């Protein structure tokens, strides 16, 4: 017997806040044969807390994270923990990380953090580590093996030899479309660590990999990309149940590559265009992905949302609740062996706002 979280249960807890249709957090449920071991976790990501000067921060981005934290505290049933998916800061400064950490401190749950490029490229994650812990690690929870990777590293030459100041390095990587940027990668050091970590894990143990960038190649120009994605996928191949959850892209994406299910999480800050809406280049959004509705800029929280995931038999089964939009459910279809939207998957079932151009 599973213990799915549905919207009604959630809203019982959330009534005090008069929450409307959507929440910028992700709630993840793992469902296994032994129901006593069932558990959920929430997922908040990409807040981009941005310092203006003195004690001023960009209000819009602050509000996204404050709302996510407040709503996560009201979840029913309570999640066992929270994952923060990276890019807490915009330019990696102590002011931004401190302010973000203070907002996050209102969360009533243990939180595991993932490194984003906006947290990293000022001081190579040094201050972030003081606040949140190591840049890559693994942990076990009720029979599931969780792996956190810093997937936003890049070539050493770019990182250490190219830029006269740390501030400039951070700014160059912060511009999503900056041609002076450099492709993300996990890198040799972590791949070596991952190999020895995975050696200790039974092949039947469900695995959840948490990274900031997609561990698949979608569009290099905006770093919807991880340079060593294939090597990482190969390392995960021997396991029965593998899920990769990632942030960075600020939009709904899902995909199936071999045994690995991929799902992105939403940003609390702002949405990004799908790569195909940049007319000058080729990109490779997974064909499976039915896009989120195009954002209405007049609603500053639109195109953020919350989702909850069942991992029945180790496969992702995700429901998205979207601001000012209808809910979406993407379920793993055992007949086709891939995640599919339960309403919109067929070409003839899509609605006009899902057309990105």
Partner 1 sequence: MKKIQLSVVVLGLLLLGTISMVNADEFTQADLKRWEGEYMSVVEKGRNLWGSAELGTNGVACGQCHPNAANTHPETYPKFQKQLGKVAELRHMINWCIRNPLEGKDLETDSAEMIALEAYIHWERRGVALAPGKH
Among 33, 55, 200, 298, binds partner 1 (CB under 8 A): 298
Which tokens go with 219? 């569009």
Check binding of 278 to partner 1 (CB under 8 A). yes
Least distance from partner 1 to the Cβ atom of residue 167, Å: 14
The stretch among 17-25, 49-57, 183-191, 197-205 that binds partner 1 (CB under 8 A) is 49-57
Those residues whose C-beta lies under 8 Å from the C-beta of residue 34, and which sit 6 or more positions away, are none
The DSSP symbol for 220 reads G
The stretch among 66-74, 122-130, 295-303, 328-336 that binds partner 1 (CB under 8 A) is 295-303
Which residue's entry shows tokens 């951070």? Answer: 170
Q: Give the 3-state secondary structure of residue 9.
A: helix
Characterize the bridge pairing of strands 260-264 and 254-257. antiparallel
The stretch among 26-34, 51-59, 143-151, 208-216 that binds partner 1 (CB under 8 A) is 51-59
Check binding of 18 to partner 1 (CB under 8 A). no
Among 240, 296, 337, 349, binds partner 1 (CB under 8 A): 296
Size of the site for partner 1 (CB under 8 A): 31
Q: In terms of CB distance, is 278 or 344 closer to partner 1?
A: 278
Q: In terms of CB distance, is 155 or 278 closer to partner 1?
A: 278
* Ranges within 204-223 binding partner 1 (CB under 8 A): 221-222
d(CA 311, CA 69): 23
Among 279, 287, 335, 347, binds partner 1 (CB under 8 A): 279
DSSP labels for 249-294? S-S--EEEETTEEEEE---SS-----GGGSTTS-----TTPPPPPP
Q: In terms of CB distance, is 90 or 226 closer to partner 1?
A: 90
Characterize the bridge pairing of strands 111-113 and 81-84. parallel
Q: Give the 3-state secondary structure of residue 312.
A: helix
Among 37, 52, 102, 349, binds partner 1 (CB under 8 A): 52
Q: In terms of CB distance, is 34 or 357 closer to partner 1?
A: 357
Among 193, 273, 288, 354, binds partner 1 (CB under 8 A): 273
260: left (phi over 0), alpha (psi -120 to 50) or beta: beta
Q: In terms of CB distance, is 79 or 271 closer to partner 1?
A: 271
Check binding of 50 to partner 1 (CB under 8 A). yes
Minimal CA–CA distance to 268: which of 40, 42, 10, 17? Answer: 42
Q: What is the dihedral of CA 240, 80, 28, 113, to 10 degrees?
A: -90
Q: In terms of CB distance, is 277 or 336 closer to partner 1?
A: 277
d(CA 171, CA 180): 10
Q: Please answer whether residues 76 and 56 qualify as being in contact, where contact means their C-beta atoms are separated by less than 8 angstroms.
A: no
Adjacency order of strands within the sheet including 338-341: 111-113, 81-84, 39-44, 26-30, 305-310, 317-322, 328-333, 338-341
Q: In terms of CB distance, is 242 or 292 closer to partner 1?
A: 292
Binding mask 53-82 for partner 1 (x = CB under 8 A): ---x-xxx----------------------
d(CA 348, CA 143): 41
Q: In terms of CB distance, is 188 or 282 closer to partner 1?
A: 282
Least distance from partner 1 to the Cβ atom of residue 326, Å: 18
* Ranges within 148-207 binding partner 1 (CB under 8 A): 175-178
Check binding of 295 to partner 1 (CB under 8 A). yes
Least distance from partner 1 to the Cβ atom of residue 22, Å: 19
Beta-carbon count within 10 A of 115 CB: 27
- Can you give the binding site for partner 1, defined by CB under 8 A? 48, 50-52, 56, 58-60, 175-178, 221-222, 270-273, 275, 277-280, 294-298, 300, 356-357
């Amino acid at each position: 017997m599973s213990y799915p979280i549905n919207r009604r249960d959630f809203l019982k807890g959330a009534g005090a806040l008069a929450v409307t249709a959507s929440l910028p957090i992700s709630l993840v449920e793992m469902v296994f044969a032994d129901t006593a071991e069932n558990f959920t976790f929430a997922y908040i990501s990409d807040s981009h807390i941005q310092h203006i000067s003195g004690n001023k921060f960009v209000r819009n981005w602050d509000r996204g994270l404050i709302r996510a934290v407040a709503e996560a505290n009201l979840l029913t049933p309570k999640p066992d923990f929270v994952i923060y998916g990276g890019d807490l800061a915009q330019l990696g400064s102590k002011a931004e990380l401190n302010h973000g950490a203070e907002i996050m401190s209102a969360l009533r749950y243990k939180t595991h953090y993932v490194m984003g490029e906006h947290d990293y490229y000022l001081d190579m994650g040094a201050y972030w580590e003081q606040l949140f812990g190591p840049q890559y690690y693994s942990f076990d929870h009720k029979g599931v093996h969780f792996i956190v990777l810093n997937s936003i590293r890049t070539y050493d030459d770019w990182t250490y030899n190219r830029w006269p100041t740390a501030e400039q390095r951070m700014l160059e990587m912060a511009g999503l479309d900056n041609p002076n940027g450099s492709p993300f990668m996990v890198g040799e050091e972590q791949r070596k660590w991952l190999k020895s970590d995975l050696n200790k894990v039974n092949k039947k143990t469900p695995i959840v990999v948490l990274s900031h960038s997609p561990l698949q190649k979608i569009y290099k120009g905006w770093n919807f990309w991880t340079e060593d994605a294939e090597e990482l996928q190969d390392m995960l191949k021997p396991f029965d149940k593998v899920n990769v959850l990632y942030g960075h892209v600020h939009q709904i994406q899902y995909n199936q590559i071999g045994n690995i299910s991929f799902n992105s999480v939403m940003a609390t800050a702002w949405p990004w265009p799908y790569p195909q809406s940049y007319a000058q280049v080729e990109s490779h959004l997974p064909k499976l992905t039915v896009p989120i509705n195009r954002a209405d800029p007049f609603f500053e929280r639109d195109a953020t949302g919350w989702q909850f995931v069942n991992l029945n038999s180790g496969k992702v089964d995700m429901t998205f609740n979207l601001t000012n939009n209808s809910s979406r459910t993407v379920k793993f279809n055992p007949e086709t062996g891939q995640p599919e939207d339960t309403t919109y998957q067929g070409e003839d079932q899509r609605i006009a706002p899902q057309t990105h151009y």
